Amino acid sequence: VFYFPPSEYVLGGWDPGVYTASGVSIAKHGGINFQNPLLAGLDAGERSLFSARRYGLQEFYPAWRIPAAGGGNVLSPQFFHMYPVLLSLTSAIGGVWGCLCTNPAIALLCMIALYGLCRSLSGSGVAFMAPMLFLVCPVQIWLARFQNSEMLGQLCFLAGFGMLFLAVRLAANLSDKTAGGRVAAAYVVSALFFGVSMLTRAELVPASILILAMGIISLGWGPPPGPVRKGRAAWAVCMAVLLVHAYVYQSTVASLYTPLGPLWKWGAAAIVAAVCAAAIMRTFREFVERVWGLIGMPVRLAAAAGLVIALLYVVFVRVQHKSLGLERFTYHDIAILLSWPVKQLA
Protein backbone atom coordinates (compact mmCIF):
# COMPACT_ATOMS: atom_id res chain seq x y z
CA VAL A 1 0.00 0.00 0.00
CA PHE A 2 2.75 2.46 0.93
CA TYR A 3 5.40 1.53 -1.63
CA PHE A 4 3.37 0.56 -4.72
CA PRO A 5 2.76 1.64 -7.41
CA PRO A 6 6.22 3.13 -8.07
CA SER A 7 6.77 6.56 -9.56
CA GLU A 8 6.87 6.58 -13.37
CA TYR A 9 8.89 9.79 -13.63
CA VAL A 10 11.94 8.60 -15.59
CA LEU A 11 12.49 11.42 -18.11
CA GLY A 12 15.38 13.87 -18.34
CA GLY A 13 18.71 14.07 -16.58
CA TRP A 14 17.35 13.75 -13.04
CA ASP A 15 18.15 10.66 -10.96
CA PRO A 16 15.18 8.47 -12.01
CA GLY A 17 15.84 8.92 -15.71
CA VAL A 18 19.60 8.46 -15.44
CA TYR A 19 19.38 5.32 -13.30
CA THR A 20 16.69 3.74 -15.47
CA ALA A 21 18.49 4.59 -18.71
CA SER A 22 21.77 3.28 -17.27
CA GLY A 23 20.17 -0.01 -16.25
CA VAL A 24 18.58 -0.54 -19.66
CA SER A 25 21.86 0.43 -21.38
CA ILE A 26 23.86 -2.09 -19.32
CA ALA A 27 21.36 -4.81 -20.22
CA LYS A 28 21.63 -3.83 -23.88
CA HIS A 29 25.41 -3.36 -24.22
CA GLY A 30 26.63 -5.79 -21.56
CA GLY A 31 28.81 -3.19 -19.85
CA ILE A 32 28.68 0.08 -17.92
CA ASN A 33 30.54 2.30 -20.37
CA PHE A 34 29.78 1.85 -24.05
CA GLN A 35 30.92 3.21 -27.38
CA ASN A 36 28.85 5.63 -29.42
CA PRO A 37 29.77 5.48 -33.15
CA LEU A 38 28.62 9.06 -33.78
CA LEU A 39 31.31 10.48 -31.48
CA ALA A 40 34.11 8.73 -33.37
CA GLY A 41 33.46 10.82 -36.48
CA LEU A 42 33.36 14.22 -34.73
CA ASP A 43 36.24 16.51 -33.93
CA ALA A 44 36.36 18.59 -30.74
CA GLY A 45 34.49 21.53 -32.29
CA GLU A 46 31.74 19.40 -33.80
CA ARG A 47 31.39 17.42 -30.60
CA SER A 48 30.52 20.58 -28.66
CA LEU A 49 27.47 20.97 -30.93
CA PHE A 50 26.16 17.55 -29.89
CA SER A 51 26.93 17.77 -26.19
CA ALA A 52 26.33 20.03 -23.20
CA ARG A 53 28.85 21.06 -20.57
CA ARG A 54 27.81 20.42 -16.99
CA TYR A 55 29.97 20.51 -13.85
CA GLY A 56 32.95 21.12 -16.14
CA LEU A 57 32.39 17.90 -18.12
CA GLN A 58 30.85 17.21 -21.51
CA GLU A 59 27.61 15.23 -21.57
CA PHE A 60 26.33 13.68 -24.79
CA TYR A 61 23.03 12.71 -23.15
CA PRO A 62 21.82 14.11 -19.80
CA ALA A 63 24.25 12.72 -17.19
CA TRP A 64 26.03 10.56 -19.80
CA ARG A 65 29.55 11.91 -19.82
CA ILE A 66 32.34 11.80 -22.40
CA PRO A 67 35.56 10.65 -20.66
CA ALA A 68 37.90 11.93 -23.40
CA ALA A 69 36.97 15.51 -24.24
CA GLY A 70 39.32 15.67 -27.22
CA GLY A 71 38.68 12.27 -28.73
CA GLY A 72 37.28 8.80 -28.24
CA ASN A 73 33.74 7.57 -28.54
CA VAL A 74 33.05 6.16 -25.07
CA LEU A 75 30.11 7.31 -22.95
CA SER A 76 30.07 6.86 -19.17
CA PRO A 77 26.84 7.15 -17.13
CA GLN A 78 26.87 9.30 -14.01
CA PHE A 79 26.68 7.93 -10.45
CA PHE A 80 28.11 4.76 -8.95
CA HIS A 81 26.88 1.76 -10.85
CA MET A 82 25.86 -1.09 -8.55
CA TYR A 83 22.25 0.07 -8.58
CA PRO A 84 22.14 0.41 -12.41
CA VAL A 85 23.66 -3.07 -12.67
CA LEU A 86 20.79 -4.37 -10.54
CA LEU A 87 18.33 -2.47 -12.74
CA SER A 88 19.86 -4.12 -15.80
CA LEU A 89 18.80 -7.50 -14.38
CA THR A 90 15.28 -6.40 -13.50
CA SER A 91 14.88 -4.64 -16.87
CA ALA A 92 15.94 -7.81 -18.65
CA ILE A 93 13.19 -9.64 -16.76
CA GLY A 94 10.38 -7.08 -16.73
CA GLY A 95 11.40 -4.21 -18.99
CA VAL A 96 11.05 -0.63 -17.77
CA TRP A 97 8.27 -1.65 -15.38
CA GLY A 98 10.68 -4.15 -13.83
CA CYS A 99 13.11 -1.27 -13.22
CA LEU A 100 10.40 0.80 -11.59
CA CYS A 101 9.36 -2.00 -9.23
CA THR A 102 12.94 -2.63 -8.07
CA ASN A 103 13.06 0.07 -5.40
CA PRO A 104 9.73 -0.80 -3.75
CA ALA A 105 10.90 -4.42 -3.53
CA ILE A 106 14.24 -3.33 -2.01
CA ALA A 107 12.37 -1.15 0.49
CA LEU A 108 10.37 -4.18 1.66
CA LEU A 109 13.63 -6.09 2.10
CA CYS A 110 14.94 -3.14 4.15
CA MET A 111 12.01 -3.60 6.55
CA ILE A 112 12.91 -7.27 6.96
CA ALA A 113 16.61 -6.47 7.43
CA LEU A 114 15.79 -3.79 10.01
CA TYR A 115 13.57 -6.22 11.90
CA GLY A 116 16.35 -8.81 11.96
CA LEU A 117 18.90 -6.24 13.11
CA CYS A 118 16.69 -4.96 15.93
CA ARG A 119 15.70 -8.50 16.88
CA SER A 120 19.34 -9.39 17.42
CA LEU A 121 19.86 -6.33 19.63
CA SER A 122 16.66 -6.25 21.68
CA GLY A 123 13.30 -7.87 22.20
CA SER A 124 10.62 -8.59 19.65
CA GLY A 125 8.63 -5.48 20.64
CA VAL A 126 11.33 -3.06 19.55
CA ALA A 127 12.09 -5.23 16.54
CA PHE A 128 8.47 -4.88 15.43
CA MET A 129 8.08 -1.16 16.16
CA ALA A 130 11.26 0.00 14.38
CA PRO A 131 10.21 -1.21 10.89
CA MET A 132 6.69 0.13 11.43
CA LEU A 133 8.04 3.62 12.18
CA PHE A 134 10.35 3.32 9.20
CA LEU A 135 7.48 2.17 7.03
CA VAL A 136 5.37 5.31 7.50
CA CYS A 137 8.25 7.81 7.32
CA PRO A 138 7.40 10.20 4.44
CA VAL A 139 11.01 10.36 3.21
CA GLN A 140 11.27 6.57 3.24
CA ILE A 141 8.05 6.27 1.24
CA TRP A 142 9.29 8.84 -1.28
CA LEU A 143 12.62 7.10 -1.76
CA ALA A 144 10.96 3.68 -1.99
CA ARG A 145 8.78 4.83 -4.89
CA PHE A 146 11.47 6.92 -6.56
CA GLN A 147 14.30 5.63 -8.76
CA ASN A 148 17.44 6.21 -6.67
CA SER A 149 20.24 4.21 -5.10
CA GLU A 150 19.51 5.18 -1.49
CA MET A 151 17.35 2.10 -0.97
CA LEU A 152 20.05 -0.33 -2.12
CA GLY A 153 22.65 1.42 0.02
CA GLN A 154 20.28 1.27 2.99
CA LEU A 155 19.67 -2.44 2.47
CA CYS A 156 23.41 -3.17 2.26
CA PHE A 157 24.13 -1.29 5.49
CA LEU A 158 21.24 -2.84 7.41
CA ALA A 159 22.21 -6.31 6.21
CA GLY A 160 25.89 -5.64 6.91
CA PHE A 161 25.22 -4.59 10.49
CA GLY A 162 22.71 -7.41 10.89
CA MET A 163 25.29 -10.04 9.91
CA LEU A 164 27.87 -8.31 12.10
CA PHE A 165 25.67 -8.58 15.18
CA LEU A 166 24.72 -12.12 14.20
CA ALA A 167 28.41 -13.01 14.28
CA VAL A 168 28.70 -11.48 17.75
CA ARG A 169 25.70 -13.49 18.94
CA LEU A 170 27.04 -16.73 17.45
CA ALA A 171 30.38 -16.09 19.15
CA ALA A 172 28.62 -16.44 22.50
CA ASN A 173 27.85 -20.10 21.67
CA LEU A 174 31.28 -21.49 20.92
CA SER A 175 30.51 -24.72 22.76
CA ASP A 176 29.15 -25.96 19.43
CA LYS A 177 32.01 -27.37 17.33
CA THR A 178 30.68 -25.75 14.18
CA ALA A 179 30.09 -22.34 15.78
CA GLY A 180 33.56 -21.07 14.87
CA GLY A 181 32.93 -21.60 11.15
CA ARG A 182 29.53 -19.92 11.35
CA VAL A 183 31.04 -16.93 13.16
CA ALA A 184 33.69 -16.48 10.45
CA ALA A 185 31.07 -16.89 7.70
CA ALA A 186 28.80 -14.24 9.28
CA TYR A 187 31.73 -11.82 9.53
CA VAL A 188 32.70 -12.36 5.90
CA VAL A 189 29.12 -11.95 4.63
CA SER A 190 28.86 -8.73 6.64
CA ALA A 191 32.00 -7.41 4.94
CA LEU A 192 30.58 -8.34 1.53
CA PHE A 193 27.43 -6.30 2.19
CA PHE A 194 29.52 -3.29 3.16
CA GLY A 195 31.66 -3.86 0.06
CA VAL A 196 28.59 -3.76 -2.18
CA SER A 197 27.49 -0.52 -0.50
CA MET A 198 30.80 1.10 -1.49
CA LEU A 199 29.92 0.49 -5.15
CA THR A 200 26.42 1.92 -4.67
CA ARG A 201 26.85 5.44 -3.29
CA ALA A 202 29.90 7.66 -2.87
CA GLU A 203 29.08 8.72 0.71
CA LEU A 204 29.02 5.09 1.83
CA VAL A 205 32.75 4.83 1.13
CA PRO A 206 33.82 7.07 4.07
CA ALA A 207 31.16 5.42 6.23
CA SER A 208 32.66 2.00 5.48
CA ILE A 209 36.16 3.32 6.17
CA LEU A 210 35.01 4.48 9.60
CA ILE A 211 33.40 1.09 10.29
CA LEU A 212 36.61 -0.69 9.26
CA ALA A 213 38.67 1.58 11.54
CA MET A 214 36.41 0.77 14.49
CA GLY A 215 36.63 -2.93 13.65
CA ILE A 216 40.43 -2.80 13.66
CA ILE A 217 40.39 -1.08 17.04
CA SER A 218 38.11 -3.84 18.36
CA LEU A 219 40.82 -6.37 17.47
CA GLY A 220 43.13 -4.66 19.95
CA TRP A 221 40.42 -4.57 22.57
CA GLY A 222 38.93 -7.87 21.50
CA PRO A 223 38.91 -11.47 22.69
CA PRO A 224 41.90 -13.80 23.20
CA PRO A 225 43.16 -15.94 20.31
CA GLY A 226 40.48 -18.24 18.97
CA PRO A 227 37.59 -18.46 16.47
CA VAL A 228 36.14 -15.08 17.44
CA ARG A 229 39.37 -13.21 16.85
CA LYS A 230 39.92 -15.11 13.60
CA GLY A 231 36.43 -14.14 12.48
CA ARG A 232 37.03 -10.47 13.25
CA ALA A 233 40.39 -10.60 11.51
CA ALA A 234 38.77 -12.20 8.44
CA TRP A 235 36.15 -9.44 8.46
CA ALA A 236 38.83 -6.72 8.63
CA VAL A 237 40.86 -8.31 5.81
CA CYS A 238 37.76 -8.63 3.61
CA MET A 239 36.80 -5.02 4.31
CA ALA A 240 40.31 -3.85 3.43
CA VAL A 241 40.32 -5.82 0.16
CA LEU A 242 36.87 -4.52 -0.79
CA LEU A 243 37.99 -0.99 0.05
CA VAL A 244 40.92 -1.35 -2.36
CA HIS A 245 38.48 -2.69 -4.95
CA ALA A 246 36.25 0.37 -4.42
CA TYR A 247 39.28 2.63 -4.89
CA VAL A 248 40.18 0.93 -8.19
CA TYR A 249 36.54 1.11 -9.33
CA GLN A 250 36.18 4.78 -8.45
CA SER A 251 39.50 5.66 -10.08
CA THR A 252 38.72 3.89 -13.36
CA VAL A 253 35.10 3.04 -14.16
CA ALA A 254 33.50 5.85 -12.12
CA SER A 255 36.31 8.38 -12.38
CA LEU A 256 34.03 11.12 -13.79
CA TYR A 257 31.62 11.08 -10.85
CA THR A 258 32.38 12.51 -7.40
CA PRO A 259 36.20 12.33 -7.30
CA LEU A 260 37.23 10.97 -3.91
CA GLY A 261 40.96 11.71 -4.19
CA PRO A 262 41.47 13.56 -0.85
CA LEU A 263 39.08 11.16 0.90
CA TRP A 264 41.25 8.14 0.11
CA LYS A 265 44.24 9.83 1.76
CA TRP A 266 42.24 10.61 4.90
CA GLY A 267 40.81 7.10 4.84
CA ALA A 268 44.27 5.55 4.67
CA ALA A 269 45.38 7.77 7.54
CA ALA A 270 42.35 6.71 9.60
CA ILE A 271 43.09 3.02 9.04
CA VAL A 272 46.77 3.46 9.96
CA ALA A 273 45.72 5.33 13.11
CA ALA A 274 43.30 2.51 13.95
CA VAL A 275 46.06 -0.10 13.55
CA CYS A 276 48.32 1.92 15.87
CA ALA A 277 45.51 2.30 18.41
CA ALA A 278 44.81 -1.45 18.30
CA ALA A 279 48.50 -2.22 18.88
CA ILE A 280 48.66 0.18 21.82
CA MET A 281 45.50 -1.22 23.35
CA ARG A 282 46.77 -4.78 23.09
CA THR A 283 50.16 -3.86 24.54
CA PHE A 284 48.69 -1.95 27.50
CA ARG A 285 45.45 -3.89 27.76
CA GLU A 286 45.18 -3.96 31.54
CA PHE A 287 45.74 -0.22 31.83
CA VAL A 288 43.25 0.52 29.03
CA GLU A 289 40.63 -1.72 30.69
CA ARG A 290 41.05 0.11 34.03
CA VAL A 291 40.72 3.52 32.36
CA TRP A 292 37.72 2.42 30.32
CA GLY A 293 36.09 1.06 33.47
CA LEU A 294 36.23 4.57 34.90
CA ILE A 295 35.18 6.61 31.87
CA GLY A 296 33.33 4.06 29.73
CA MET A 297 29.78 4.94 30.77
CA PRO A 298 30.22 8.75 30.58
CA VAL A 299 31.76 8.35 27.13
CA ARG A 300 28.81 6.22 25.96
CA LEU A 301 26.29 8.72 27.34
CA ALA A 302 28.14 11.65 25.77
CA ALA A 303 28.26 9.85 22.40
CA ALA A 304 24.54 9.05 22.56
CA ALA A 305 23.70 12.66 23.48
CA GLY A 306 25.92 13.93 20.66
CA LEU A 307 24.11 11.73 18.15
CA VAL A 308 20.71 12.98 19.32
CA ILE A 309 21.82 16.62 19.16
CA ALA A 310 23.35 16.11 15.70
CA LEU A 311 20.13 14.48 14.48
CA LEU A 312 18.00 17.35 15.81
CA TYR A 313 20.37 19.87 14.22
CA VAL A 314 20.27 18.15 10.84
CA VAL A 315 16.49 17.73 10.84
CA PHE A 316 15.35 21.08 12.24
CA VAL A 317 18.21 23.59 11.91
CA ARG A 318 20.67 22.81 9.14
CA VAL A 319 19.83 24.45 5.80
CA GLN A 320 20.40 22.83 2.44
CA HIS A 321 23.20 23.74 0.06
CA LYS A 322 22.34 26.51 -2.36
CA SER A 323 23.23 24.32 -5.34
CA LEU A 324 20.12 22.25 -4.56
CA GLY A 325 17.89 25.30 -4.69
CA LEU A 326 16.59 24.44 -1.19
CA GLU A 327 18.60 26.87 0.90
CA ARG A 328 15.49 27.97 2.84
CA PHE A 329 14.37 24.45 3.77
CA THR A 330 15.45 22.12 6.55
CA TYR A 331 15.11 18.35 6.38
CA HIS A 332 11.94 18.67 8.47
CA ASP A 333 10.44 21.03 5.88
CA ILE A 334 11.46 18.71 3.06
CA ALA A 335 9.86 15.76 4.85
CA ILE A 336 6.58 17.71 4.99
CA LEU A 337 6.86 18.46 1.27
CA LEU A 338 7.65 14.84 0.48
CA SER A 339 4.55 13.73 2.36
CA TRP A 340 2.45 15.03 -0.56
CA PRO A 341 2.44 11.63 -2.37
CA VAL A 342 1.35 10.01 0.91
CA LYS A 343 -1.56 12.42 1.23
CA GLN A 344 -2.55 11.75 -2.35
CA LEU A 345 -2.37 7.99 -1.69
CA ALA A 346 -4.57 8.36 1.38
Q: What is the pLDDT of residues 57-68, one digit of tens each?
A: 677 777 777 765
Confidence band for 345, pLDDT divided at 50, 70 and 90: very low
How distant is the alpha carbon of residue 83 from its chain centre? Answer: 10
Q: What is the pLDDT of residues 292-332, one digit of tens each?
A: 888 889 988 998 998 888 878 766 766 555 554 544 555 55
Confidence band for 83, pLDDT divided at 50, 70 and 90: very high
**Whole-number Å distance between alpha carbons of 313 and 294:** 30
- What pLDDT does residue 198 have? 94
Q: 301: which residues sit within 8 A by CB, 6+ positions away?
A: none
**Whole-number Å distance between alpha carbons of 27 and 245:** 23
DSSP secondary structure string for all residues of 92-131: HHHHHHHHHTHHHHHHHHHHHHHHHHHHHHS-HHHHHHHH
- What pLDDT does residue 178 have? 60
- What pLDDT does residue 49 have? 75
Confidence band for 21, pLDDT divided at 50, 70 and 90: confident
pTM metric for this prediction: 0.84
Question: Region 143-162: what's the mean pLDDT?
Answer: 92
The answer, yes or no, to whether residue 96 has pLDDT greater than 60, is: yes
Confidence band for 273, pLDDT divided at 50, 70 and 90: very high
Q: How many Cα neighbours within 13 Å face the side chain of 41?
A: 2
Q: What is the pLDDT of residues 34-76, one digit of tens each?
A: 877 777 777 777 777 777 776 666 777 777 777 655 456 778 8
Consecutive H or E run containing 204: helix 204-221
Other residues' Cβ atoms within 10 Å of the Cβ of residue 132: 11
**Whole-number Å distance between alpha carbons of 278 and 213:** 10
